[in-house]
Structure 1
Amino acid sequence: MTATKRIAVTPGDGIGPEVVEQAVRCLDVLRERYDLDLEWETFDWPSHRWHQAHGDVMPANALEQLRDFDAILLGALGDPGPITDPNRYLLPDSISLAPLLQMRKGFDQWVCERPARLLPGARQYLADERARDVDMLVIRENSEGEYVAQGGRLRPGSEDEVATQMEVFTRRATNRIIRHGFEQARSRARARQESGQTRQFKTLDGRTCESQVCIITKRNALRYWGDMYTEAFAEIATEYPDVATHHELVDAACMKFVQCPWAFDVVVASNLQGDILTDLAAVLSGGMGVAPSCNLNPDDRSMPSMFEPTHGSAPDIAGQGLADPTAMLFTTARMLTWLAEETGPMQEAAEALHDAVAADLAEHSGRRRKTREIGDAVITRLGQ
């Protein structure tokens, strides 16, 4: 008998609680329909509201409370509040978003995966018809790099102020994120083969492969970590002769994401550069409102991985029932796939949720609907 999978639900700020509500409603239906051994607990932190009441965005022992869960489902963080409202006060992003980094690092969620696939019904921002074939996976190194919070400010506020921000890269983290990229490329190729689809990528020696990994750096200007990434990439690539390889500088990659995004398969980037590229990739797949995201620790499932949509907290529309929960529901489907680990009822539930959301997106392309209306429509499909 499989152990119960436990989810920590953290709705967060702004529209987070509204979109998470729809996700939980879908989980309720799926748990009953597929007889899933699944339970969840909701926490009212991290959030702006908790900060107002307690002076911090989450309790000091927050990570210890979350550690025994199998997954964290996060709605959104960040709510600066209108300065004209006396009951709310400005909360800097550096404070409101800090729990996100604490969870990623505390649970060593070293992989951030964001798929970018243009589904029927999603808005196509690029005029080129080939943009319909966008199907990439952007993998961001999530544990170090530019986001290690090393540095400081000397003489703040004065004309002589000095601010330092250190980047830290290790060979161990570099190797594991690059190898993960190659493994995902192979996995995606197998999935395409099983579904009768094919893609072709050229190797440097002229061979044709069915998958590709593109490494992103800025090695011409950020020499030291850029060279280490490049060297590690070349060494690990020898273990995967069936996968084509490519290298782009981050500025050129941004250009080519717009110019020819269909040329990419799996993209591996550092923390900051991956952060930028994943948002751009989300637009290529229809926008932030449809883009899922996950923060994973593939090596250690004794700690929870975290699942969040790519969109922000959108405080300007919070509480109005206008938020589109599509990205949150796609994210929930990816969470169920992660929890499933292999074929079975949990994976069937994940596929059912994904397909229901995709079908709803295709049917109602471009039409504005209320948050609960979309949730109702997806739940109706799940019951069919």
Structure 2
Amino acid sequence: MAKKILVLEGDGVGKEVIKSAIKILEFIREKLKLKIELEYDYIGGECIDRFGVAIKEETIKKAKKYGIVLLGAVGGYKWEKSKVKPEEGLLKLRKEMGVYANIRPIHSFFNRNIDIVFVRELTGGIYFGKPRKRWIKNNRTFVIDTLKYSDKEIERVVRVAFEIARNRKKFLVSVDKANVLESSRLWREIVNKISEEYKDVKVEHHLVDSFAMNLILKPEYFDVVVTENLFGDILTDEAAVLVGSLGLLPSASLAFKKEKVIGLYEPIHGSAPDIAGKNIANPIGAILSVALMFKYSLKRDDIYELIYQAVQKTLEKGYKTFDLDKNNYLQTDKFTDKIIENMNVN
């Protein structure tokens, strides 16, 4: 039976980079005779324009049924004042799919000493907590956002991080703000509790502010990092400095259910409306998201390695995208073709 993948291109450069990712996927599918079927749908701003919502309920149902989603990016200037925000579709998709563990590899193709895996909690915390509101009283404006976690939400993502650490260098750093936030104190307690089950993994606790500094000063020190939703969002964008561009970084948002892995795969960059339609977006983050899809959802580590090695070889030969070298670069589609040329598919 063929595996079905739901493709949501989204907005802006999301469409361009997903086109490149699908080109890689279809090349591999043809060469290796893989049984994979693709189905396209809408999310974000274009979905708002067409249907008045950031994501349709039937799209959510398909995502949950297939369990594998490849996504581009959402948002743009056009919808800044829209009552319905494109990002609402992405947050709803993550929540409905239940993909609580966001895996973000920070791997430098230019410095072999930088190879970090971030594990970010994705479906809890301040992005989802309620109440969330704004109100006016006595001519003053007030706002409230709620940071809420349960012990279960923390435990399940921390276990994912420990498992990844156990299979790498057996070193896990947990990032929190336990000197101020009650949620972080619970986070640290749970990490310590679960560490008793992973005696072979060394654990360190770092406060988020000092970690943010050390991530830049000594990135080679870190291997696997686990943290909550907001911190993980900010820190992984910061980490893009270490590898050269946001456009290089993929992500896999996962939920582990017995033998099945539910996966939402997307580059970590945004829709970049300023360069959308110019054929200069970096497709590597999207292409490597396909690699992660093969690794986790399709259980094909060999294809994961194949794609990574092709990207590595392409960059080593001196080919660059616009964000890496504005004076000497290949356009998005041409760079994708070079990756295919450097792919050794038997």
Normalised by the length of structure 2, the TM-score is: 0.91
CA distance in 2, matches of 1:26, 1:90: 33
Q: Work out whether 1:248 is the aligned partner of 2:206.
A: yes
Aligned to 1:217: 176
Instruction: Work out which structure has the larger RCO, using CA pairs closer than 8 Å and 6 or more positions apart in sequence.
Output: 1
Percent identical residues:
30
Equivalent AA in structure 1 for residue 117 of structure 2: L
Among residues 53, 76, 79, which one is paired with 1:56 in the alignment? 53
Instruction: Call closer, same or farther: CA 1:319–1:140 in 2, change over 3 Å.
Output: same
Instruction: Call closer, same or farther: CA 1:93–1:230 in 2, change over 3 Å.
Output: farther
Work out whether residues 17 and 332 of structure 2, in 8 Å CA contact, stay in contact via their aligned partners in 1: yes
CA distance in 2, matches of 1:96, 1:325: 21
Q: Work out whether 1:377 is the aligned partner of 2:338.
A: yes
Aligned to 1:359: 313
Equivalent AA in structure 2 for residue 50 of structure 1: C
Q: Count how many residue pairs are aligned between Structure 1 and Structure 2.
A: 338
Q: Write out aligned runs for 1:34-73 (5 A).
A: 34-43=32-41, 45-73=42-70
Q: How far 1:73 sits from its partner (Å)?
A: 0.4
Instruction: Call closer, same or farther: CA 1:158–1:19 in 2, change over 3 Å.
Output: farther
Secondary structure of 1:188's match? coil
Aligned to 2:232: 274
Aligned to 1:147: 127
Work out whether residues 140 and 270 of structure 1, in 8 Å CA contact, stay in contact via their aligned partners in 2: yes
Work out whether residues 151 and 163 of structure 1, in 8 Å CA contact, stay in contact via their aligned partners in 2: no
Work out whether residues 102 and 252 of structure 2, in 8 Å CA contact, stay in contact via their aligned partners in 1: yes
Structure 1: segments with no counterpart, 5+ residues: 82-88, 121-130, 190-210
Secondary structure of 2:103's match? strand
Q: How far 1:301 sits from its partner (Å)?
A: 6.8
Secondary structure of 1:57's match? coil
RMSD between aligned residues: 2.1
Equivalent AA in structure 1 for residue 340 of structure 2: I
Secondary structure of 2:133's match? strand
Q: How far 1:182 sits from its partner (Å)?
A: 0.9
Work out whether residues 80 and 92 of structure 1, in 8 Å CA contact, stay in contact via their aligned partners in 2: no
Instruction: Call closer, same or farther: CA 1:260–1:38 in 2, change over 3 Å.
Output: same
Q: Work out whether 1:330 is the aligned partner of 2:306.
A: no
CA distance in 2, matches of 1:220, 1:92: 38
Secondary structure of 2:71's match? strand
Among residues 100, 104, 110, which one is paired with 2:94 in the alignment? 104
Q: State the Cα deviation string for residues 75-127 of structure 1 (Å, max 9, x = none).
A: 1101223xxxxxxx64559711111111111111000010112113xxxxxxx
Equivalent AA in structure 2 for residue 77 of structure 1: V
Secondary structure of 1:247's match? strand
Aligned to 1:193: none
Q: How far 1:245 sits from its partner (Å)?
A: 1.0
Instruction: Call closer, same or farther: CA 1:145–1:300 in 2, change over 3 Å.
Output: farther
Q: How far 1:62 sits from its partner (Å)?
A: 2.5
Q: Larger Rg: 1 or 2?
A: 1
Work out whether residues 309 and 343 of structure 2, in 8 Å CA contact, stay in contact via their aligned partners in 1: no
Normalised by the length of structure 1, the TM-score is: 0.83
Instruction: Call closer, same or farther: CA 1:320–1:246 in 2, change over 3 Å.
Output: same
Secondary structure of 1:292's match? coil
Instruction: Call closer, same or farther: CA 1:226–1:333 in 2, change over 3 Å.
Output: same
Aligned to 2:249: 291
Q: How far 1:320 sits from its partner (Å)?
A: 1.3
Q: State the Cα deviation string for residues 199-234 of structure 1 (Å, max 9, x = none).
A: xxxxxxxxxxxx211111111111x21221111111
Q: Write out aligned runs for 1:1-384 (5 A).
A: 3-43=1-41, 45-81=42-78, 90-91=80-81, 95-120=85-110, 132-153=112-133, 155-156=135-136, 159-189=139-169, 211-222=170-181, 224-299=182-257, 304-341=262-299, 346-363=300-317, 364-365=319-320, 366=325, 367-382=328-343
Equivalent AA in structure 2 for residue 107 of structure 1: M
